[in-house]
């Protein structure tokens, strides 16, 4: 009898220690569930960040194109036209003796759209021009040295809560870029 209790006592000690090694199935399921929830939140956050960065990139690029077209118009001594639609824009200039014609289409990415939708003054955004010369899908950049741009604005947005506005008013020499997030006020960039 003594021999049995000694053997079973040792065996039960080892069995107890072997049951403690590793993780239980419940612990593994909880860890996997928590990891899945954190991953889902990160994916949603990443998608929103990517939408904002796409919008910011397109707004910045379009703003730079508008500014660069002043140099092209001055060099050519003729007007340059930027025609925009919801999905992109085209830069055009007529051919003359010295310069070839320009016809450069640019497509916007990932649901980014350009519109002449009405904006209201708030924050850093100046008084909105009553007559939007950029409305109707055309921005004309003249070869004037000081006032190459007519007063006007456009709004660049996508399916996120952010919007960008490029606006030129009578007090400015060049158009400026503004940003608005949701119901916040416009901020100059």
**What DSSP assignment string belongs to the chain?**
-HHHHHHHHHHHHHHHHHHHSS--HHHHHHHHHHHHHHHHHHHHHHHHHHHHHHHHHHHHHHHHHHHHHHHHHHHHTS-EEEEEETTEEEEEE---SSS--EEEEEE--TT-EEE-------TT--PPPSS-TTGGGEEEE-S-SS--B-SEEEEEE-SSSEEEEEEE-TT-SS-EEEEEETTS--EE-
Answer with the residue of higher pLDDT: 67 or 182: 67
Beta bridge partners of 81: 92, 140
- This prediction has a pTM of 0.76
Q: What pLDDT is attached to residue 66?
A: 92
Separation of first and last alpha carbons in the chain: 88
Answer with the residue of higher pLDDT: 69 or 147: 69
Mean pLDDT, range 103-121, rounded to an integer: 89
Task: Share the mean pLDDT of the chain.
Answer: 86
Mean pLDDT, range 80-93, rounded to an integer: 93
Residue ranges of domains in the chain, CATH in brackets: 2-188 (3.55.40.10)
Mean pLDDT, range 2-28, rounded to an integer: 64
Q: What pLDDT is attached to residue 19?
A: 53
Q: What pLDDT is attached to residue 5?
A: 55
**Could you count the other beta carbons within 10 Å of the beta carbon of residue 74?**
16
Mean pLDDT, range 8-12, rounded to an integer: 54
């Amino acid at each position: 009898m003594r021999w049995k209790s000694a053997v079973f006592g040792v065996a039960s000690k080892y069995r107890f220690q072997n049951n403690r090694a590793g993780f239980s199935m419940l612990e593994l399921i909880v860890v996997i569930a928590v990891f899945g929830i954190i991953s889902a939140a990160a994916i949603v956050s990443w998608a929103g960040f990517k939408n904002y960065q796409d919008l910011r990139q397109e707004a910045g690029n379009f703003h730079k194109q508008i500014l660069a077209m002043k140099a092209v118009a001055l060099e050519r001594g003729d007007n340059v036209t930027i025609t925009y639609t919801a999905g992109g824009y085209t830069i055009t200039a007529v051919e003359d003796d010295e310069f070839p014609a320009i016809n450069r289409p640019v497509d916007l990415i990932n649901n980014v759209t350009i519109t002449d939708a009405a904006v209201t003054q708030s924050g850093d955004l100046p008084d909105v021009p009553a007559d939007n010369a950029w409305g109707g899908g055309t921005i004309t950049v003249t070869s004037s040295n000081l006032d190459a741009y007519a007063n006007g604005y456009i709004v660049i947005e996508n399916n996120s809560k952010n919007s960008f506005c490029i606006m030129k008013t009578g007090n400015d020499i060049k158009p400026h870029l503004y940003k608005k997030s949701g119901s916040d006020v416009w901020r100059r960039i």
